[in-house]
Amino acid sequence: MPHHNGNSSGEYYIENALDEVGAKNIVTGIYLDYRYFDTIFEASILLVTVSGILFLSKFEQF
C-alpha cells in the first residue's frame, strides 16, 4: 500500500474531534456533529419511504 504524505481529513477528525465537538467519544462526536445533516437527511428519506409504502398499500386490491 503506498504511503501517503500529508494530512488527510480522517487524521484531522481523529486529532480534533474531541476538542471541537465536546463529546467524550470520537465516534459519537463525528456522527452527531460532523455528519448531523447527513443523518437527518437519511432519517427523512426513511420516513418518506415508509409513509409512501403505507399510503400505497391502502389502495392495493388482493
pLDDT tens digits, 2-61: 555 556 878 887 888 788 888 788 888 887 777 888 889 999 999 999 999 999 998 765
- Per-residue pLDDT, 59: 76
Instruction: Identify which has the larger pLDDT, 37 or 1.
Output: 37
Positive or negative CA dihedral for 5, 3, 12, 10? positive
- Per-residue pLDDT, 26: 85
- Per-residue pLDDT, 33: 79
Look at residue 29 and tell me if it is in a domain: yes
Look at residue 4 and tell me if it is in a domain: no
Look at residue 3 and tell me if it is in a domain: no
Q: Is-contact 21 12, C-beta < 8 A?
A: no
> What pTM does this model have?
0.52
Look at residue 49 and tell me if it is in a domain: yes
SS3 (DSSP) at 4? coil
Number of domains in the chain: 1
What's the domain range around 49?
A: 9-57
- Per-residue pLDDT, 60: 63
H helix runs in the chain, sequence order: 9-21, 26-29, 36-57
